[in-house]
A and B are shown apart, each in its own frame.
Chain A
Amino acid sequence: MTDKTGDLGVILLVHTALDRASQVARHWAESGCPVVIHVDKDIAPKKYAGFVKSLSDLDDIRFSRRQRCEWGRWSIVGATQSAAELILQSFPDVRHVYLASGSCLPLRPIQELRSYLAQRPRTDFIESATTEDVPWTVGGLDIERFTLRFPFSWKRQRRLFDGYVRLQRKLRMGRRIPEGIVPHMGSQWWCLTRQTLSAILEDPKRKVYDRYFKRVWIPDESYFQTIVRLYSRDIESRSLTLSKFDYQGRPHIFYDDHLQLLRQSQCFVARKIWRHADLLYEEFLGNRDNPESRVEPDPSKIDRIFAKALECRTRGRTGLYMHSRFPKEGWENGLTSAPYSVFEGFSELFEGFENWLGRTTGARVHGHLFAPEKAEFAGGESVYTGGLCDSAAIRNNNPKALLANLIWNTRGERQAFQYGPDDTPDIRWFMAKDPNAQISVITGAWAVPLFHSNLNFSAIRTIAAERQKSESAFLDVLRSPYAKANVRVWTLAEFIEAPMVHLQTLIDEISPRAMRRLTEAPRMSDLAGFGQFLQNLKNHGMHPYLMGEFPKDDTNVQSGRPSVKPFVVK
């Protein structure tokens, strides 16, 4: 703990928002820190003069020689070097030098930072990691930052930049890393001791290093980070500046509504602050009478928020299709947002199947959502959640949208619906490819309603032929290697041999936590004479094969003569 001022020096790199930079420089200086400011040469002389004048009443402020700085290039390092030389020379009391930018904002009283550093007088705070250990790679360049040459500007000469990288890769051109150093990378914003910093600046081989780093890409994240490894006795590989980057390698910006977050983070300095975030500047630069706190910085909450933002931008919300997320086929990260069940043939075989299913599983059970006349929403509603419309025309215009919207709108509630050979075929591939779909098919069950119908036999024959063809095409889709859905297929004959077993499996899957024995079974349609009906179809030249084998003579039908009495368990 020391009251001696001037032990912490600050280098400010400034290239925009001079008004804010001036405010922050004043804050550092008035808190007893000598400041050296580098102002980008792109700033017009008149503005620069005004800036210098705005700080002219403060003694411990110096301005270093101006250079034109460009992101990703050597000039930023050059500017930092000359500012560092100036600060070490002009202020002999300085023990730690803090590198910050004009858009950095101190969050805690400077006194706290000074005490923190005073307790760690030999520690260099600089994030410094080898390239293998870090995932920060913008543009797919990691170790290549150090082994290729980058004479072109990424911002202004993108084509030349990319082309030259490709050329070097192709010709297997490379450059040798100067002897004695191992490339390290890390945040540009460091805090080094006088000993370490001066050793770096006075290194006998500095010319060699400088020449090398002039053609390295983004040297401001690697020059000091690499060379510090030669001299520092005590490296804390982290930055004292809270600085988050988005997936394009651009710093996240803080606004007024981040006030509480920033305060809770207990970080010493944050970057970058939006220049019009008046509240932040007012709060953090104003005099706070808080008792001095010695809490360690803890930016984990901020980390989480930015990690979530990154995930939103790169992975998005699964199953959501909207005007700023419309994935190409294959890039959806999941076609729908939640699991759902599709039943084909069940409501044909069992009377009141939908009600029964709803009661047993608690799922929302719809009729044929893709029926030719309209979308049969649960409860026969004409408009359903989210404002979905039962119009067949709207649905057929974009069947995927109906299904994806329904599943998205009802997040938290399991959906189930019926499907059949008469229904819109355009949805089949979408369901089949969707791992969220649980598709259960009793093939040939569509014949049961025909069997009970009062149609002329020639009409029945025609419909049966169409349905068989349609169902068979659906089965081909379900069996394709691209199908990712959870598919179960039984023939009608197979299913009625042990209906309860099959139903139990499905129910358990829909509501796994319930895990109870079915006590109530749906009523199965009366199938007496069904074998003969199929035989009649055959006799008319239509060969019904999807039902499986039904003996013509009903007396041989197994499963406890279900044809005489509807099948009920217990």
Chain B
Amino acid sequence: MLQSYRLRLQRKRRLVRAFRKRRELKCIADRTGDILPEDILSFTTLRNERVRLSFFLRYYRDLGIDHFLMVDNDSDDGTLEFLADQPDVSIWTTKHSYKKASFGADWLTWLQYKYAHGHWSLVVDTDEFFVYPFCDTRPIGALTDWLDASSVRSFSAMLLDMYPKGSIDAVPYRAGQNPFEIAAWFDGGNYTIQKNERYKNLWVQGGPRMRAFFGDNPERAPALNKIPLVKWNRRYAYISSTHMLLPRGLNQVYDEWGGEKASGCLLHAKFLNTFTDKAAEELVRKQHYANSHEYKAYHDRLKENPDFWCKWSEKYINWRQLEILGLMSKGNWA
């Protein structure tokens, strides 16, 4: 009882924080007037991702995202100009601290509060690509309609780190290219799960980063559990990135009685040649999670020979492969 009251306070604090941070956003292109009641929206913060954007937008347009709401954090590579020209993108910009805005979450929470109420909302970074059951034959609207019909409000997708064979900067990424032509590999079955009793979400760790970088202190390995797709209500708030949200009933995206709920994956195209520069830059900016602890560990190892590939790596084929491996599930969607 006391705890649920505390969580309610925490959620309200998040919302108040987001409300205060709204002043940090400057609107560059506002096309939110085009949003129709049934539209599926995506929310993204980004910085200097120009090279990734063409593929990112193409991928999600094909999936059936109707409108992109994006926050640009002080890019200087043409990201802002490019996005301002897109017909289905509304873009805001800010020079304020990413870290102080809860790693961008406050900005997005505000935009979600304002625009996503009653819509399905997908929160993804520019290097995250959402894969769900039947995504090759059914648009995302089929999924959200089914979730609506099943009275499900939130949908889990595990972050699946993808990596190339060979060192990660061996093959340069070209704009517009499918990043998974290069980063085609992933770890098929080394994920560990713990339940977070406070927020009722699962804490998933594992993958190449844990195996290569966190062999000595696995507790610090990055969390891979994500709940990116939510039928949004303005009372909702993400707590830590998209790993969990409040009210905590939304974190119940897994079955506890032996069954499987439907779920997907977020293919993570982080480990490309773009990563090396990014890691160096982020280390200087100190804008990332846990005092950039993650980035320090990476950076140290990056000087050596960062090759995640091993003979047990799986080469990505399609969602059915991920389903068979047990990395996602169709649940009772057939």
A247 sits at the interface (CB 8 A): yes
Which residues of A sit under 8 angstroms from B263, Cβ to Cβ? 322-324
Closest to B139 in A: A276
State which of A3-11, A137-145, A230-238, A381-389 sits at the interface with chain B: A381-389
Instruction: Report B302-334 residues with CB < 8 Å from chain A CB.
Output: 310, 312-313, 326-334
Contact of A256 among B138, B207, B217, B253 (CB under 8 A): B138
Quick check: is B174 within 8 A (CB to CB) of the other chain? no
Decide if B254 touches A323 in the complex (CB within 8 Å): yes
Question: Which of B151, B258, B327 is within 8 Å of A316, CB to CB?
Answer: B258
Contact among B188, B190, B210, B225 for A323, CB-based, below 8 A: B225
Render A292-335 as a binary contact track against B, CB cut-off 8 A, 1 for contact.
00000000000001101110111111001111111110011100
Chain B residues closer than 8 Å to A247, beta-carbon distance: 332
Query: Does B189 contact A326, Cβ atoms closer than 8 Å?
Result: no
Chain B residues with CB under 8 A of A252: 334
Q: Flag if B330 contacts A312 (CB, 8 Å).
A: yes
Contacts A393-B217, A397-B219, A409-B188; is A331 near B257 (CB within 8 Å)? yes
Q: Are B188 and A324 in contact (CB under 8 A)?
A: no
Q: A398: which B residues are within 8 A, CB to CB?
A: 192-194
Whether, in the assembled complex, A113 has its beta carbon less than 8 Å from a beta carbon of chain B, the answer is no
Q: Map CB proximity to A onto B105-144 as digits: 1 under 8 Å, 0 otherwise.
A: 0000000000000000000000000000010011101100
When C-beta atoms are compared, the residue in chain B nearest to A312 turns out to be: B260
Residues of A within 8 A of B326 (CB): 317, 320, 322, 408
Once bound together, how far apart are the Cα atoms of A256 and B259, in whole Å?
A: 27
B149, B193, B207: the one contacting A322 at CB < 8 Å is B193
**A-contacting residues, B32-57, CB 8 Å:** none
A324/B260 in contact, CB under 8 A: yes
Q: Which A residues are in CB contact (< 8 Å) with B253?
A: 323-324
B216 contacts A393, C-beta separation under 8 Å: yes
CB pair A327–B257 under 8 Å, yes or no, is: yes
Residue A351 CB within 8 A of the other chain: no
Digitize A41-55: 1 where CB-to-B-CB distance is under 8 Å, 0 elsewhere: 000000000000000
Chain B CB within 8 A of A246 CB: yes
| Partner pick for A387 among B207, B214, B218, CB 8 A cutoff | B207
Contacts of A556 in B (CB 8 A): none
- The reply to whether the CB of A503 lies closer than 8 angstroms to some CB of chain B is no
Instruction: Please give, as numbers and ranges, the residues of chain A lying within 8 Å of B214 by CB-CB distance.
Output: 394
With an 8 A cutoff between CB atoms, is B104 at the interface?
no
A306 touches B331 (CB 8 A): no
Q: Which of B187, B313, B334 contacts A305 (CB 8 A)?
A: B334
Chain A's closest residue to B221 (CB) is A394
Contact flag A385-B215 (CB < 8 Å), given A324-B255, A324-B328: no
Residue B202 at the chain A interface, CB threshold 8 Å: yes
Q: Does B211 contact A (CB under 8 A)?
A: yes
B334 touches A324 (CB 8 A): no
User: What residues of A have a CB within 8 angstroms of the CB of B139 in the complex?
Assistant: 276
Contact partner of A326 (CB less than 8 A), chosen from B195, B312, B327, is B195
B258 touches A315 (CB 8 A): yes
Which residues of chain A from 448 to 487 have any CB-CB distance to chain B below 8 Å in the complex? none
Evaluate whether A328 and B149 lie within 8 angstroms (CB atoms) in the complex, with A257-B138, A309-B334, A394-B215 already known: no
Task: Report B199-215 CB contacts with A as 1/0, cut-off 8 Å.
Answer: 00010101110110011
User: Is A326's CB under 8 angstroms from B137's CB?
Assistant: no
Please determine whether A332 and B146 come into contact, CB atoms closer than 8 angstroms. no
Q: Is the CB of A327 within 8 A of B255?
A: yes
Contact with A along B234-272 (1 / 0, CB 8 A): 000000000000000000011111111111000000000
Smallest CB separation, A194 vs chain B (Å): 35
CB within 8 Å of B: which A264-313 residues: 274-276, 305-306, 308-310, 312-313
Contact residues, A413-449 vs B (CB, 8 A): none
For B225, give the chain A residue with the smallest CB separation: A323
A248 CB, nearest partner CB in chain B, Å: 7
- Check if B313 sits within 8 Å of A387, measured CB to CB: yes
- Enumerate chain A residues within 8 angstroms of B327, measured Cβ to Cβ: 322
A385 lies within 8 A of B328 (CB): no
A31 within 8 Å of B (CB atoms): no
- Is residue B150 contacting chain A, with contact meaning CB distance below 8 A? yes
Does B59 sit at the interface, judged by CB under 8 A? no
Given the known A-B contacts A250-B150, A326-B202, are A386 and B189 also in contact in the complex, defined by CB atoms under 8 Å? yes
Q: Does A255 contact B (CB under 8 A)?
A: yes
| CB proximity to A under 8 Å, residues B219-239 | 219, 224-225
Contacts of A317 in B (CB 8 A): 260, 326
**Are the C-beta atoms of B149 and A253 separated by less than 8 Å?**
yes
- Which single member of B138, B208, B211, B256 contacts A327 (CB below 8 Å)? B256
Q: How far is the CA of A408 from the CA of B324 in the complex (A)?
A: 11
Complex interface: chain B residues within 8 A of A394 (CB)? 192, 210-211, 214-215, 218
Q: Are A386 and B312 in contact (CB under 8 A)?
A: yes
Q: Is A401 an interface residue (CB 8 A)?
A: yes
* B206 contact set on A, CB distance < 8 A: 387
Docked pose: A173 CA to B334 CA in angstroms:
41
| Minimum C-beta distance from A185 to chain B (A) | 22
B158 CB–A CB distance under 8 Å: yes
Asked whether B312 lies within 8 Å of A324 as measured between CB atoms, the reply is no
Known: A274-B145, A309-B334, A394-B214. A328 touches B257 (CB 8 A): yes
Is the Cβ of A325 less than 8 Å from the Cβ of B260? yes
Residue of B nearest to A397 (CB): B218
CA distance A320 to B145 in the complex (A): 28
Expressed in whole angstroms, the Cα–Cα distance for A409 and B190 within the complex equals 9
> In this assembly, does A391 line the interface, its C-beta being within 8 Å of a C-beta of chain B?
yes
Is A405's beta carbon under 8 Å from chain B? yes
Are the C-beta atoms of A387 and B150 separated by less than 8 Å?
Answer: no
Provide the bound-state CA to CA distance between A393 and B257, in Å: 30
Contact of B189 among A323, A327, A409 (CB under 8 A): A409
Min CB–CB distance B310 → chain A (angstroms): 5
Q: Does B191 contact A (CB under 8 A)?
A: yes
Interchain CA distance A49-B3 in the complex, whole Å = 52
Interface hub of A252, A324, A398 (most chain B Cβ within 10 A): A324
B156 on the A face (CB < 8 A): yes
**Do A389 and B215 form a contact, CB below 8 Å, given A309-B334, A313-B259, A314-B258?**
yes
Residues of B within 8 A of A248 (CB): 150-151
Residues of chain A within 8 A (CB-CB) of B259 are 312-316, 325
CB nearest neighbor in B for A307 = B334
**Cross-chain contact B257 with A255 (CB below 8 angstroms):** no
A393, B216: Cα distance in complex, Å: 6
Instruction: Specify which chain B residues have a CB less than 8 angstroms from the CB of A305 in the assembled complex.
Output: 334
* A389 and B211 contact, CB distance less than 8 A: yes
- In the complex, chain B residues whose CB is within 8 Å of the CB of A391: 211, 215-216, 218
A-side contacts of B194, CB under 8 Å? 398
Contact with A along B146-169 (1 / 0, CB 8 A): 100111000010100000000000
How many Å lie between the Cα of A331 and that of B254 in the bound state? Answer: 13
Instruction: Give the distance in Å from the alpha carbon of A317 to the alpha carbon of B261 in the complex.
Output: 11
Task: Give the CA-CA distance A328 to B258 in the complex, in Å.
Answer: 8
Q: Which residues of chain A come closer than 8 Å to B260, judged between CB atoms? A: 312-313, 316-317, 320, 322, 324-325
B216 touches A387 (CB 8 A): no
Given A324-B255, A391-B215, 8 other A-B residues pairs in contact with their CB atoms under 8 A = A274-B142, A312-B331, A314-B257, A326-B193, A327-B255, A327-B258, A397-B192, A401-B191
Query: What would be 16 A-B contacts, judged by CB atoms less than 8 Å apart?
Result: A248-B151, A250-B149, A257-B134, A312-B329, A314-B257, A317-B326, A322-B263, A322-B327, A322-B329, A323-B202, A323-B224, A325-B255, A325-B259, A331-B258, A386-B187, A386-B190
Interface, chain A (partner B; CB < 8 A): 246-248, 250, 252-253, 255-257, 274-276, 305-306, 308-310, 312-317, 320-328, 331-333, 383-389, 391, 393-394, 397-398, 401-402, 405, 408-409
Q: Which 5 A-B pairs have the closest CB atoms?
A: A386-B189, A387-B187, A313-B332, A324-B263, A309-B334
